[in-house]
Amino acid sequence: MRIISWNVNGIRACAKKGFLDFLQRSKADVVCLQEVRAFEHQLDESLRSPQGWYTNFAPAQRPGYSGVGIYSRTKPDRVISVLGDEQYDVEGRFIVAQYGRTSVASVYFPKGSGKDRDNSRVPYKLGFYQKVFECVEKLRKRGPVFVTGDYNTAHTEIDLARPKTNKKASGFLPEERDEMSRWLAAGWVDTFRKQHPDEEGHYTWWRQFGGAREDNVGWRIDYILASKSAAPKIENAFIWPHETGSDHCPIGVDVNL
């Protein structure tokens, strides 16, 4: 089973850059998307229901904002698209598809920076982390769980190119990094870092100016975390920086279920 996660930065824009071609050549069984930025009725049929795929979406109430989705080769037995807290559910940041005992979540964690580039949204971000944590902790009691998505946090210094100049920026604040550490301490496994423990230069997001991507001045803020029962089943964890349909690149795992 191959699980892919990708913040597409607008699925309609990504479609113009070859998303459907990517979907077919990815050899994925499940593709989790973040920042879909569209209501389902706004999508062409080819995007809404491509041949051979089942799709489920959880949009934000606000048009053109946030939104998550899951494409899968197998129809899910159950789909969960709310956390049960309106302040988070209105932003369309969470969806889970269940296949037998296995749960796959696509999550778009908020940024902590506000409109004025301050850190005013950090409490909201950390509250969202906590709410998602509570939900996936319950899910892992029934079987393997994979929490994929844009976490909007670089966990350690090797997860971003310029750690020293970003210590006061949301995405690398101590309290955000501590929240990631709390998940790992609770038994969740950073699948990519487990297989590549000390390797530098692996990033999943780059600024869209200043040649950041060409120079690989990026951040690793997209993750697939696996529950204790899921982690031993992972055969490969990867990042695909050559896929350029978004300012993020796809990440994934190959799992032997």
According to the model, what pLDDT value does residue 116 have? 77
pLDDT tens-digit series, residues 68-96: 999 999 999 999 999 999 999 999 999 99
Among the options 116, 118, 150, 198, which is catalytic? 150
Token look-up 């789909």 returns 79
Whether residue 238 is predicted with pLDDT greater than 80 in this model: the reply is: yes
170/125 Cα distance (integer angstroms): 10
What is the DSSP code string of 108-156? EPPPS--TTSSSTTHHHHHHHHHHHHHHHHHHTTTS-EEEEEE-----S
Pick from 25-34, 112-121, 173-182, 227-236: least confident? 112-121
Q: Which domains does the chain have, with CATH numbers?
A: 2-255 (3.60.10.10)
pLDDT tens-digit series, residues 123-157: 999 999 999 999 999 999 999 999 999 999 999 99
* Active-site residue, 150 included: yes
Task: Work out the pLDDT band at 114, boundaries 50, 70, 90.
Answer: confident
pLDDT tens-digit series, residues 17-65: 999 999 999 999 999 999 999 999 999 999 999 999 999 999 999 999 9
160/200 Cα distance (integer angstroms): 9
Q: List b or e across 236-245, with b for residues whose CB sees 16 or more CB atoms inside 10 angstroms.
A: ebbbebebeb
